[in-house]
Amino acid sequence: MLIHKRNLLGIAILASLGLSGCGGGGSGSGASSSSSGLSSGVISGFGSVFVNGVEYETASSRITVDGSPSTEDRLKVGMRVTLRGSINPDGRSGSASSIDYADELEGIVQSTSLAADGTGSLVVMGITVQVDNSTFFESRVPGIAGSADISAGNVIEVSGHRLDDTTVQATLIEVKSASFTPGSEIEVKGVIGSLTATSFRFGGMTIDYSSAQLDNIPGGTLSEGLYVEVKSIAGFDGSGNLIASKVELESNGDRDIDASEGEDIKLFGPIDNGSSASRFSVDGTTVVVNGNTRFEHGTSASIADGVEVKVEGVVDASGDLVATEIAFKEAPETELEAVVESVDPAANTLVVMGLTVTVDNFTMFRDDRSGNPVRRFRLDDLNPGTDRVEVDLFQDNGSGQRVARKLKREDGAGPDKLEGVVDGAPAPGQISVGGVSVDISGVGATPATGDKVDIRGNYNVGTGILTATSLTLVN
């Protein structure tokens, strides 16, 4: 049985693009005509497949997983995919001709630096894997229920965004096994450095390729700077070197998306390390900013390493993406976990802890119940008064709506949870966090406005107040 955990970093609602709800119904101004091209981003839900705010039909799609023909049921929320297809005039729906998924690595954890909440970093076969509140988690290993439980020696699969040659921001981590079994295959992608006749390096790891098969390598000879995938069935030797069984060319030898001149592309992810206001990259694809580039929720001055963006543009003769539009994403401000009070699928809203929360095509949906989870989980699957959900949300500056970036249905009962910034004190012995009134009289703490807090307690639907049983300041 899979064990699931989700904590998601937000993706902004882009009202100017006409993108609206996916929970049932909704409308938007959208585009004036159909468009087609390539889209790279993270799967946010199913019904058919949601990528970058568009619901793509997949009945006629060619789907591959790690290079092999596959089916939609092998895809998961949190996987970063490359999709080709068409988008309808409404800007919210379309049809995918192909969907390709390839993990960034599947390998042995060498070291961990993780906080109690599971955020931090791992080193996996020479690659630093960043784990944050946007990372999905799954495990096939009993006793490893969250990323904080990962330890050196575990074998994990990682999907995510490359920030540079040796750093991945994880969008999905799956623990495959507690330890490596010789004869099973592990794999890692990277850029060749410190090349000798028998070895090269990915980051801090040496790879012995003296007995490896070279597959699709130009001229049959490795070279510095070439982007390759290394596969191993032997694991590490006594000196900590990875023994390669195969070295094969990856993505034509570089990290950018393979696209043709004039092709329309939509990229969604964090800006790679080494950005500038006029030129940066996302997952290795160079983005050129010029005087015709339009900005949403920011300006060229907002461009910085790690900032999440949605980029739309056209590939030029050099293979770079000339941006026509760059939209900066708003991160969630409040996380709450409680029983759903009501649901309105037609309006794309639900009420949790007294807050009316809107969902849109960017909301990440997943049913994380341990028994019979719904794959195509949407708003109308929720049972008010019974189902417990975890929601990450932000308040849209334009509309004032509270918009969900994550909606996860969970098992059973437990303390209600609220994490966010104190925004006031509505009454003596109370604080307000993200619009929720909290009675803190029993916890012996009085945080100040602007403090970020993590609260456990019991929410009373009748009074609209969360009575705190514990309160922790969050750095």
Q: What is the DSSP letter of 378?
A: -
pLDDT at 152 (0 to 100): 96
pLDDT at 252 (0 to 100): 80
With CA atoms as reference, report the closest residue to 173 among 122, 216, 235, 217. 122
Residue 367, token pair as written in the block:
């049913």
Q: What is the CA radius of gyration of the chain?
A: 23
Which of 32-41, 81-90, 170-179, 400-409 is least confident?
A: 32-41
Separation between Cα atoms, residue 335 and residue 326, nearest integer Å = 27
| Strand-pair category, 205-208 with 242-243 | parallel
Backbone φ, ψ for residue 91 (5° rounding): 75, 0
Separation between Cα atoms, residue 135 and residue 262, nearest integer Å = 33
H helices of 294-361, in order, are none
Give the model confidence (pLDDT) of 251-282 as tens digits. Answer: 887 777 888 889 999 999 999 999 999 999 99
Separation between Cα atoms, residue 214 and residue 234, nearest integer Å = 16
Helix, strand, or coil (residue 74): helix
With CA atoms as reference, report the closest residue to 391 among 367, 343, 357. 357
Give the model confidence (pLDDT) of 381-402 as tens digits. Answer: 999 999 999 999 999 888 899 9
pLDDT at 11 over 50: no
389 and 383 in contact (C-beta within 8 Å)? no
Separation between Cα atoms, residue 303 and residue 287, nearest integer Å = 11
pLDDT at 4 (0 to 100): 39
Give the model confidence (pLDDT) of 40-85 as tens digits. Answer: 999 999 988 999 889 999 999 999 998 899 999 999 999 999 999 9
Separation between Cα atoms, residue 340 and residue 35, nearest integer Å = 38
116 and 188 in contact (C-beta within 8 Å)? no
pLDDT at 331 (0 to 100): 78
Separation between Cα atoms, residue 65 and residue 81, nearest integer Å = 9
Separation between Cα atoms, residue 371 and residue 24, nearest integer Å = 24
pLDDT above 70 as % of the chain: 93
| Strand-pair category, 136-139 with 167-177 | parallel
pLDDT at 25 over 80: no
With CA atoms as reference, report the closest residue to 393 among 347, 434, 425, 348. 434
pLDDT at 197 over 80: yes
pLDDT at 28 over 70: no
**Residues 6+ positions from 87 with CB-CB distance below 8 Å:** 31, 34, 35, 36, 54, 93, 94
Output b/e per residue, 112-138; b: 16+ Cβ within 10 A. bebeebbbbbbbbbbbbbbbbbbbbbb
pLDDT at 21 (0 to 100): 37
Helix, strand, or coil (residue 133): coil
Average pLDDT of the residues in 130-140? 88
Average pLDDT of the residues in 194-201? 96
Average pLDDT of the residues in 432-444? 95
Residue 320, token pair as written in the block:
């770079």
Report the predicted TM-score, pTM, of the whole model to 2 decimal places: 0.81
pLDDT at 317 (0 to 100): 92
Separation between Cα atoms, residue 321 and residue 288, nearest integer Å = 6
Residue 334, token pair as written in the block:
């409040």
Position with higher pLDDT, 22 vs 335: 335
221 and 246 in contact (C-beta within 8 Å)? no
| Strand-pair category, 321-328 with 294-296 | parallel
Average pLDDT of the residues in 430-435? 96
Residue 467, token pair as written in the block:
């009575």
Q: Can you spell out the DSSP letters for 313-363?
A: EEE-TTS-EEEEEEEEPPPP-EEEEEEEEEEEGGGTEEEETTEEEE--TT-
313 and 323 in contact (C-beta within 8 Å)? yes
pLDDT at 30 over 90: no
Average pLDDT of the residues in 212-220? 94
348 and 358 in contact (C-beta within 8 Å)? yes
pLDDT at 136 (0 to 100): 87
Q: Residue 238, exposed/middle/buried by CB under 10 A (0-12, 13-18, 19+)?
A: exposed
Separation between Cα atoms, residue 138 and residue 167, nearest integer Å = 21
Separation between Cα atoms, residue 7 and residue 364, nearest integer Å = 10
Backbone φ, ψ for residue 9 (5° rounding): -80, 145
Residue 278, token pair as written in the block:
């006029």
Output b/e per residue, 146-167; b: 16+ Cβ within 10 A. bbbbbeeebbbbbbbbbbbbbb
Work out the mean pLDDT of the chain and round it to a whole number. 89
pLDDT at 457 over 80: yes
| Strand-pair category, 388-395 with 334-344 | antiparallel
299: confidence class by pLDDT, cuts 50, 70, 90: very high
**Residues 6+ positions from 428 with CB-CB distance below 8 Å:** none
Which of 26-35, 147-156, 247-256 is least confident?
A: 26-35
The secondary structure element, H or E, covering residue 311 is: strand 308-315
33: confidence class by pLDDT, cuts 50, 70, 90: low
Which residues on adjacent β-strands are paired with residue 174? 138, 157
pLDDT at 34 (0 to 100): 59
